[in-house]
Structure 1
Amino acid sequence: MKAYIFIIALVLAVEKTSAQQPITLDTIYANDQKNVALFFPEPIRQGITGSENFVFTYNREKEQYFGLLQAKPGMESNLLVVNRNGSVFSYIVKYKKQLDRLNYFIPKSKSIGNEKPIVADSAKVNESKKELGNEVYYYQKFSSYLLDRKQRINRLQKRNEGIVLSIENIVFDKDELYFVIQIENKSTLDYDLNFLKLSVETRQKGKRKSLQRLYQEPIFKYNSPSKVAENETVRLVYVLPKFSISNDRRAVLELNEKNGERSLKLKVSHRFINNPN
């Protein structure tokens, strides 16, 4: 009964927030002799069936892109799957003794909506914690905690014409790295940000030295500014999927000024990345 209530509530929420027309659900057949594999465009965060004679298994500890469906003889039911990015997929599931298909590669276009409401005005995003996905809300709260904590690692700092870029802390939590960053404007001019990005550089040895750079895309940014006013200090957090680097690589935090020349590159040794707090 709880499973039915959960599925009905979430489907209704998706239909309401997406303002969609009535949806015709596809049917997936399964039995108790073979595994039917469902491959999704994003890792599975949650999957649930409406009846006990259907079982959908997936990796609950480490999110993966596929799940396995089995069924016992009985009435048809439904399957609801939520991906890591909040995309919702819903199917009718039926028992069938002889299966014609064992693998389903599901495209993004099959999503019936998103669990998070689509907010037209970005100022409304923070109106309620309930409107944020569980992961986003966790990133927000943990980032706020890190800024209040004020824990610092060894000096990682770069200066240029009154602008000071610092990495105060690097923290590992769950499967993510949190970079606590500070931008200080000691000049008499406002500093407009063009971008602040983190990349990994590979130092090529030999006569012709070169650098290969791979940009690391944050999955969440907390308190990220577009401008740092004169005599102002801004502290922010970048959240990235956990990664490590070899001793011939280094991370580079690059701050670039919009319509200006006060740009900085802060180089971070592999020791800090591989040994976070």
Structure 2
Amino acid sequence: MKNFIFITVLIGAALLGNSAQAQVQDSKTNIRGVIEPYQLGISYDKTVNLVFPYPIISVDRGSSDVAVRKAIGIDNILQLKAEDENFKPTNLTAVTGEGALYSFLLHYDPEPRHLNLKVADLEIPIQQLALFEGGLTSEAKLKEASQRIMTKKESIKKLSDKHYDMGLHLKGIYISGDVLYFQIQLDNNSRINYDVELIRSYLTDSKQAKRTARQETSLIPLFIDGNDKRIEGNSSNTVVLAFDKFTIPNKKHLVMEMMEQNGGRNLKLKIKNKDILKAKVI
């Protein structure tokens, strides 16, 4: 009888051990797939600012007791404030331009320790998880490709416009997936700084029939990398413009036009379809 009891105890202990081990394994498996939220206190009479490394694409709050908005005219700063001093802890989710999901657990704190937080420096486990509709390329990938193109040597020799000691030169055209990249160089050979009002890109008719209006189709860049705001005197800037892939219809061409703010030193390039079709793969 004693032997039977002893064996029963051993079997029970083994079963409990296996069960505990299974629970540990399950726990580890679950933890591996969990993104832990960052704990954040917000108050009724103070605004907490979250500064993200990329533009905010999507925001969701778990409760209407929390006021959430983007800073006016700014794409990467989120402002938080409590609508109710007694709100229950809730969550906040943000998705940004590089495809990263950020998770926060919000609670009420009358005196938040930090009012301005640089999200990239917080201990938040970040992964590029978001898949954008229509296959939209994340800003992080556009930035990475643009940085590689920045340093590439000139591959196009003749596409340039030079006037008023200024120069606008197309150095190369590149393709990666469904994105076209244009590497342009902006030269200022004068002593007067050049402030850029805009760099405009559009498709237009190669020839204009008499008594008809010229048809133009604007192209909006997905991403611009480099200093496209000012060219200091006696200096050069390299800028990369990224567009959804396109080709140029028959009897049309692409125009890239740079216009000076409060000035007349305007330059433009005429780019043909054969130039687009020679785009180099990166």
Alignment of 1:76-95 (within 5 A): 86-87=57-58
Amino acid of the structure 2 residue aligned with 1:170: I
Is residue 223 from structure 1 mapped to residue 226 from structure 2 by the alignment?
A: yes
> Which residue of structure 2 aligns with residue 255 of structure 1?
258
Alignment of 1:239-250 (within 5 A): 239-250=242-253
State the alpha-carbon separation in 2 of the partners of residues 204 and 86 from structure 1.
41
Amino acid of the structure 2 residue aligned with 1:190: N
Is residue 12 from structure 1 mapped to residue 37 from structure 2 by the alignment?
A: yes
State the alpha-carbon separation in 1 of the partners of residues 234 and 222 from structure 2.
30
Amino acid of the structure 2 residue aligned with 1:251: L
Using structure 2 for the length normalisation, give the TM-score.
0.55
The verdict on how the C-alpha distance between 1:261 and 1:250 changes in structure 2, with shifts beyond 3 A counting, is same
Deviation by residue 1:182-202 (Cα, 9 ceiling, x = unmatched): 000011211011111211113
> Which residue of structure 1 aligns with residue 271 of structure 2?
268
Secondary structure of the 1:140 match is: helix
Deviation by residue 1:236-256 (Cα, 9 ceiling, x = unmatched): 101111011123111111101
State the alpha-carbon separation in 1 of the partners of residues 234 and 278 from structure 2.
33
State the alpha-carbon separation in 1 of the partners of residues 120 and 271 from structure 2.
33
CA drift at 1:7: 6.7
The verdict on how the C-alpha distance between 1:125 and 1:176 changes in structure 2, with shifts beyond 3 A counting, is farther
Query: Alpha carbon RMSD of aligned pairs, Å?
Result: 3.9
Of the candidates 214, 217, 220, which is equivalent to residue 214 of structure 1?
Answer: 217
The verdict on how the C-alpha distance between 1:250 and 1:216 changes in structure 2, with shifts beyond 3 A counting, is same
Q: Which has the larger radius of gyration?
A: 2
> Which residue of structure 1 aligns with residue 184 of structure 2?
181
> Which residue of structure 1 aligns with residue 173 of structure 2?
170
CA drift at 1:137: 2.2
CA drift at 1:275: 3.0
Is residue 236 from structure 1 mapped to residue 207 from structure 2 by the alignment?
A: no
The verdict on how the C-alpha distance between 1:191 and 1:3 changes in structure 2, with shifts beyond 3 A counting, is farther
Secondary structure of the 2:274 match is: helix
Deviation by residue 1:159-203 (Cα, 9 ceiling, x = unmatched): 120110011001011110010010000112110111112111134
CA drift at 1:141: 2.1
State the alpha-carbon separation in 2 of the partners of residues 251 and 274 from structure 1.
13
State the alpha-carbon separation in 2 of the partners of residues 180 and 186 from structure 1.
20
Using structure 1 for the length normalisation, give the TM-score.
0.56
The verdict on how the C-alpha distance between 1:260 and 1:174 changes in structure 2, with shifts beyond 3 A counting, is same
Is 2:204–2:252's contact at 8 Å kept on the other side of the alignment? Answer: yes
The answer to which of 153-162 and 202-211 deviates more is 202-211
Deviation by residue 1:119-176 (Cα, 9 ceiling, x = unmatched): x99xx79979x98968322222221211222141241100120110011001011110
Is 1:224–1:237's contact at 8 Å kept on the other side of the alignment? Answer: no
Is 2:93–2:101's contact at 8 Å kept on the other side of the alignment? Answer: no
What is the aligned-residue identity percentage?
24
Alignment of 1:47-58 (within 5 A): none
Is 2:224–2:241's contact at 8 Å kept on the other side of the alignment? Answer: yes
Deviation by residue 1:83-136 (Cα, 9 ceiling, x = unmatched): xx853789xxxxxxxxxxxxxxxxxxxx9532466xx99xx79979x9896832
Is 2:208–2:214's contact at 8 Å kept on the other side of the alignment? Answer: no
Is residue 113 from structure 1 mapped to residue 94 from structure 2 by the alignment?
A: yes
Of the candidates 180, 193, 196, which is equivalent to residue 193 of structure 1?
Answer: 196
Is 2:248–2:272's contact at 8 Å kept on the other side of the alignment? Answer: no
CA drift at 1:207: 2.6
